[in-house]
Amino acid sequence: MFVRQLDYLVTLAREKHFARAAEICCVSQPALSAAVRNLETELGIAIVQRGQRFQGFTPEGERILDWARQTLAALEGLKQEASMSRIKLTGTLRLGAIPTTMPIVSLLTGQCRAQHADLRQLVLSLSTEEIMRRLDDFELDVGLTYLEDQRLNGFHVQPLYRERYMLLAREGTMLDGKAEISWEEAAEFPLCLLTSHMQNRRIVDAAFRRAEVHPNVVVETDSVFALYSHVRHANLFSVVPHSLLCLFELRDEMVAIPIVPELSRSIGLISLDHDPCSPIVVAARNIAEKINLQAQFDAYISGGYQPITSND
């Protein structure tokens, strides 16, 4: 049995297509198929359901696939452990983040780059459900997501900050000079919000329901960049977490007003609760622990913004 055979299996499971899996593994399709058949012969079981196209794995194959993922993850951890003994951490940090945290991921990856220059990084925008699935399948190392989720039981959870929700508007509107605004008042403005299937939007909708009002949503988008653009250029308003203000930079023409009663949600880093833990995951946890993200984001509200620093 060769490690590359296990890699072929995991890639095939992800791509669900022999030709694409072979291309990603840099081998011909016949070579990949032959490697899978050889593994089946060695183990004495059928792993892949046979047909003209990929039809999935047999029940026995699904169990072998779980072992293959764990074996490849353990091998990567072994390599990282060895790299640490050389005082250089190498490999790839694979991070999944919910869309509304994507603009602030660089605050983590930048510090990681500063401390581990030889470490590559892969950052993906994913839903909480997909982050958890990929962590379980050893396709991610860490995730950045909301922590008020019962499904996170069994994961290692590291709180980073609590996001507070603000009304984003252009300067020069009727909101100038307001220190805060109610959810009832916010519902009256023409709003650009994230799409209804996104977790952030569900949180905002729940706040409007508690206020017993229906928001005037005129534009929906799955992009936080589009939220900012519609507020700045289309005379709309939006409800955003205060962490996003680091992206918008609150230029002279933009204002952000706290909405009351305050709505806040805890954001943090999640990873598999394994022992031994991958050195890359340990490094990510250590870096996240030293960065004071809460002070960074709260400063955008108070006006006392300072560049981010660690707790050291």
**Is 87 within 8 Å of 58 (Cβ atoms)?**
no
Contacts of 131 (CB under 8 A, 6+ apart): 96, 97, 98, 140, 143, 144, 145, 270
A 10 A CB-CB count for 231 gives 24
Asked whether the bond before 30 is cis by omega within 30 degrees of 0, the reply is no
Contacts of 102 (CB under 8 A, 6+ apart): 123, 125, 224
- Residue from 172, 162, 175, 24 nearest 101 by CA: 162
pLDDT attached to residue 302: 58
Place of tokens 């709260």: 298
> What's 113's DSSP letter?
H
Contacts of 281 (CB under 8 A, 6+ apart): 141, 142, 271, 272
Q: What does pTM read for this prediction?
A: 0.69
First-residue to last-residue Cα distance in the chain: 47
**Is 211 within 8 Å of 187 (Cβ atoms)?**
yes
Q: Would you identify the CATH topology of the domain 3-80? A: Arc Repressor Mutant, subunit A (1.10.10)
Q: Give the pLDDT of the chain (312 residues) as one tens digit per residue.
A: 578 888 888 888 888 888 888 888 888 888 888 888 888 888 888 888 877 678 889 988 888 888 888 888 888 777 776 665 545 788 899 999 999 899 889 999 999 999 888 899 999 999 999 999 999 988 999 999 999 888 888 899 999 999 999 999 887 766 767 889 999 999 999 999 999 999 899 999 999 999 999 999 999 999 988 998 999 899 899 999 998 887 765 555 788 899 999 999 999 999 998 777 888 898 999 999 988 899 888 887 755 434 444 444
- Residue from 279, 238, 286 nearest 87 by CA: 279
**Is 148 within 8 Å of 268 (Cβ atoms)?**
no
Domain ranges (residues) in the chain: 3-80
CA distance 31 to 8: 10
